[in-house]
Structure 1
Amino acid sequence: MLYPMYVWKDAGSAYGARLPDLPGVFTAADDLNELPTMAQDSAATMYEVEAHIPEASSIEKWKDTPNYVDGFWMLVAIDRSKINTRPVRLNISLPESLLHDIDAYAKSHHLTR
């Protein structure tokens, strides 16, 4: 999901970044190209035990807010499936043929069911 990320840089410092839709998610990097990876890591750390991760909004929601005037905006992909990866037990019934397909796919990708 693409989240708006506000980026700034003070003289003599690294780039700082904040994701307003994900309260508490801040990051920094010396190289601008590193910020998306750092943002994913920060989001994963901040929301690792949360059951609900806020949805992304548009930049327009935030762009005229007084807190965001001296920097610029980026859209950054946050893979929510990599956040809160705690396993949950699930009991379901599937057709046997589908189960075989799932097992074959998992095996071919070095995964488990």
Structure 2
Amino acid sequence: MTHYVAIIEDAGPDHAVGVWFPDLPGCFAAGDTLDEALRNAPEALSLWIGTLRENNEAVPRARTPSELKADPDAAREIADFAIALIPAPDVALLPAAE
């Protein structure tokens, strides 16, 4: 099963917890708590990938945490925030429809 690295930003009790995916620009989830944000992340991932599939666009490859640490932009986010691995829906593994 493929997993995407998610960056988790918890700005404290007066702010929502944000989750975003370095490999999937514009894909994000949030919640009032860390647990809620992590519960919402797989759905956000599924919807984002589903939109790509509907538009016959390729799904970006999921990089490993080590690969992301070698990317200067992602490395800064990994250093500043927590990460989690979020499972991709099975449809992410299929080639784009023609």
Q: If the length of structure 1 is used for normalisation, what is the TM-score? A: 0.59
Q: Which aligned runs of 4 or more in structure 1 are off by greater than 4 angstroms?
A: none
For 1:3-18, list aligned pairs within 5 A: 3-11=4-12, 12-18=14-20
Aligned-partner SS, 1:69 = helix
Structure of greater Rg = 1
For the pair 1:69 / 2:70, whether they are aligned, the reply is no
Q: How far apart, CA to CA, are the structure 2 residues paired with 1:50 and 1:40?
A: 20
Classify 1:20/1:4 alpha carbon distance in 2 versus 1 (closer, same or farther; 3 Å): same
List alignment gaps of at least 5 residues for structure 1. 83-87, 89-113
Contact 1:4/1:74, CA 8 A, preserved across alignment:
yes
Contact 2:20/2:29, CA 8 A, preserved across alignment:
yes
List alignment gaps of at least 5 residues for structure 2. none
Structure with greater contact order relative to length (CA < 8 Å, sep ≥ 6) = 2
Q: If the length of structure 2 is used for normalisation, what is the TM-score? A: 0.66
For 1:1-113, list aligned pairs within 5 A: 1-11=2-12, 12-47=14-49, 48=51, 49-51=54-56, 52-63=58-69, 65-81=75-91
User: Over aligned residues, Cα RMSD in angstroms?
Assistant: 2.4
Percent of aligned positions with the same letter in both sequences? Answer: 23
* Residue identity matched to 2:8: V
